[in-house]
Amino acid sequence: MMNAKRKQELLVAFSIFLALCSIGFSFEGTTFLWFWQKYPIIPIALLLFTFLAVRYWLTLELEKQRQAIFHEYSKRHKIKQQADFKNLLSPREIEVLELINSGLSNKEIAEKLYVSISTVKTHINNIYKVLEVKNRREAIEKVNEK
């Protein structure tokens, strides 16, 4: 299948060819005639095809630009979302998240932070909600992806 860039290149070449053909000329005996003097429909048709080819080329170009803009927007939006989740977590939740990332259990986190296990579980549930994940593995993956 032909990619969009190749289609555009062929359309431009075809348009130039048609435009040049429309200004052609012929000799009849000793007389020099332009196409439009003897057969006006030929250059009109060629120029019409040229216009349609250029119009199609512009459509392809606009679609290519739209896709580039959408791709850039999606990329920036994803980066922004990844950066924003740390702003939504409290300093203590970030600390718990870092301890989860280091592989500690709830009991070990509670002992390290001098809080109860239920407090650790509350922090973890809040982290899951903000990160939109369901378990530790997904939370670790989301934090470590960049």
What residue segments make up the domains of the chain, in order of their start? Answer: 1-83, 89-146
Task: Return the residue matching tokens 């606009």.
Answer: 62
3-state secondary structure of 23: coil
CATH code of 89-146, in short, is 1.10.10.10
Low-confidence residues in the chain, pLDDT < 70: 1-2, 22-33, 35-36, 77-84, 146
Element (H, E) at 102: none
Q: Is the pTM value of this prediction over 0.85?
A: no
The whole-number pLDDT of residue 18 equals: 74
Give pLDDT tens digits for 76-117: 766 666 666 777 888 899 899 999 989 899 999 999 999 999
Mean pLDDT estimate for the chain: 81
Cα–Cα distance for residue pair 123/62, rounded to 1 Å:
48
- Region of 38 (left: φ > 0; alpha: ψ -120 to 50; beta: rest) is alpha
The whole-number pLDDT of residue 106 equals: 93
User: Which DSSP symbol is given to 140?
Assistant: H
The whole-number pLDDT of residue 27 equals: 63
